[in-house]
Structure 1
Amino acid sequence: MRAITVPKPGGPDALVWADVPDPEPGPGEVLVEVRASAVNRADLLQRQGLYPPPAGAPAYPGLECSGVVGAVGPGVTGWEVGQEVCALLSGGGYAERVAVPAGQLLPVPAGVDVVDAAALPEVACTVWSNVVRLAGLRAGETLLVHGGGSGIGTFAIQLGAALGATVLTTARAGKHDRLRELGAAYAIDYREQDFVAEVRRRTDGRGADVILDIMGASYLDRNVTALATGGRLVVIGMQGGRKAELDLGALLTKRATVAATALRSRPPEEKAEIVRGVWDEVWPLIEAGKIRPVVDHRLPMAEAATAHRMVEGDHVGKVLLTTR
């Protein structure tokens, strides 16, 4: 088969479309004939040599894919050759085929094109596991989503709105109309506005009940300030740095919680549990039309370098790489 390889870490041009050995599904695995994969920030870091795949994962980038079942390994039940699926991966999505643990497989939701389904697994699992399972977002609460124009952000806005929360988001001004269409009650221009002041203004001074943050260190102090009493801050990215000082006094006063999580490094059984929750709780919302994949561009897999430049630049939603 062919796959995107990284012979030497570097910029987007380090990505090479090359011939590689075919994968074989082992016990408990399913072979997926890939129709599309999606570009995630983790792929950019892996390309630069900063985020190697976990032990045992394929060396190629790609944390999610969609396609059809090509073969079923020993001990697998419930999946059939030819069935349209999408999958959460530890790596290997930038390829024509990938072997996936059966517990990380999802059916393509009714009403969603098989190519566009590649935009769903990573964001759905990340957002649901953090915003719903960990932070416990409830109807009537306020959710603040940083980076609203990203793949994570566009999904979190939709899921929060579908669950009955009031969603606030930060993004460049040019993206605000799109984000309001997805369900954001108010969009904050992080370049021109103080998001803490805007959150207080939009919540009558109470603050946000849940904050989903991709920035990390540079936003930590302001995020704690923006939390409501009993609020929950979940950090899932470090685009703004790794280390910052945390005011425990402010946290204690608000009886607030700060958590930080990663998805890729979790063991297969934990990923399978998350995938099952997404299948049970999120897939019905997609099939009901309350959440949809948000796709900025679709490019041939061989043009992965161009796709990485798009993700490093200005986009809304996901950039997909297709094998056909």
Structure 2
Amino acid sequence: MRQVVISKAGSPDMLRVVDVPLPEPDPGSVRIKSAAIGVNFADLVGRLGLYPDSPKIPYVPGYEVAGTIDAVGSGVDASRLGEPVIALTRFNGYSEALCIPADQAIPRPAKMPVEQAGGFLVSYLTAYASLVVMAGIKPHDRVLIHAAAGGVGLAAVDLCRVYGATIYGTASPAKHDFLRARGVQFPIDYRHQDFEKEVARLSDGRGVQIALDPIGGRSWTKSYRALSPTGRLVINGVTSLTPRARRSLRALLRMALTTPWLRFTPVRLANDNKGVVGVNLGHLWDETALLREWVTQLLAWYDTGRIDIHVDRTFPLAEAAAAHRYLHERRNTGKVVLIP
């Protein structure tokens, strides 16, 4: 079978297609024949050698797949053979087949196209953890979503619509009409407008109750200032580390110098009546019961049409490097998916 391997840290050209033996499932595990594989910013950060949780290079990236169970290990009900599933993967996702614990393979709804299924779990679980679990979103909350046209951003937009929140979303101007159609009341041009000032202007100085900020550095400080009293800043990524397809020492230095290391102190938070929380889905992999509970709710909303997974573009698995460039250039609106 084929896999895509990060051969060494660097540009997308460091992604190599290799042939390896088909894996066999261990006891309690299943093998999934992949049909769609989600591409996420964490994959890019890992390829640049900047993701601290990644295995030692060389390794196979990839956090989510959709496919069919085509082999089961001992102790797994053989009736699961042929079952369409979705799954989070602890790396190794960029593969034509992979093995995971059986309880982490979640049945895929019959009405969910496989391309949507491949790009569903990471974005929507991150958005759910950020908005519902950590930030405690309520009806009529004002929510600032950075990178609103990205995979996690659009998932957050969907969940804000479910809760009846007012949405302020940063994106390049070419994506604003799309965001309005998805329910973003106030698109903000992050390239030419100061989002902090725009939030103040558009909210009549009240600020937002929730800010989702996957950017990092100075953006975290500005998002914090954009909060109203009792507001919550959710840190769920550091996309400023990937300004281009190659590792940038300048970006690393800028990130280090502009991160508000001393701003979010306990005394400051108490005096400001604000909160700062974080979400790292990669550190929840073993919380199987918790994640399945969240997925159950998300699939219920999907079944009733309240959320709509938007896949921007698919690439063949062998063209994973092109998919990475597409994300680096911020060309995507929604998810990018690899098709084996």
Query: Which TM-score applies when normalising by structure 1?
Result: 0.92
Distance 1:312 1:291, change over 3 A: same
Name 2:88's counterpart in structure 1. 88
Aligned-pair CA distance for 1:104: 3.0
Map 1:143-162 → 2, pairs under 5 A? 143-162=143-162
Deviations, residues 250-295 of structure 1 (Å, cap 9, x unaligned): 6333311101231113351x2x134212222111111111211211
Letter in 1 for 2:115: V
Name 1:320's counterpart in structure 2. 337
Name 2:263's counterpart in structure 1. 246
CA contact (8 A) 2:146 2:169 kept: yes
Name 2:322's counterpart in structure 1. 306
Separation in 2 of the partners of 1:83 and 1:93?
Answer: 18
Distance 1:86 1:196, change over 3 A: same
Distance 1:273 1:142, change over 3 A: farther
1:209 aligns with 2:226: no
Aligned-pair CA distance for 1:164: 1.6
Letter in 2 for 1:306: A
Structure 1 range deviating more: 24-33 or 299-308: 24-33
Aligned-pair CA distance for 1:110: 4.2
Distance 1:258 1:52, change over 3 A: closer
Deviations, residues 204-228 of structure 1 (Å, cap 9, x unaligned): 3221111111112221221111111
Separation in 1 of the partners of 2:24 and 2:234?
Answer: 37
Letter in 1 for 2:199: V
Q: Secondary structure at the match of 2:289?
A: helix
1:133 aligns with 2:133: yes
Map 1:54-73 → 2, pairs under 5 A? 59-73=59-73
Letter in 2 for 1:257: G
Name 2:312's counterpart in structure 1. 296
Query: Which TM-score applies when normalising by structure 2?
Result: 0.87
1:45 aligns with 2:42: no
Name 1:263's counterpart in structure 2. 281
Separation in 1 of the partners of 2:165 and 2:28?
Answer: 38
Letter in 1 for 2:277: A
Deviations, residues 41-90 of structure 1 (Å, cap 9, x unaligned): 1111222222265569x931111111111123334459711111111111
Q: Secondary structure at the match of 2:200?
A: helix
Name 1:108's counterpart in structure 2. 108
CA RMSD of aligned residues (A): 2.2
Q: Secondary structure at the match of 1:216?
A: coil
Deviations, residues 170-197 of structure 1 (Å, cap 9, x unaligned): 1111111111112211111111222122
Separation in 1 of the partners of 2:146 and 2:36?
Answer: 27
Distance 1:76 1:54, change over 3 A: farther
Q: Percent identity?
A: 37
Separation in 1 of the partners of 2:10 and 2:38?
Answer: 20
Q: State the number of aligned residues.
A: 320
Separation in 2 of the partners of 1:179 and 1:191?
Answer: 16
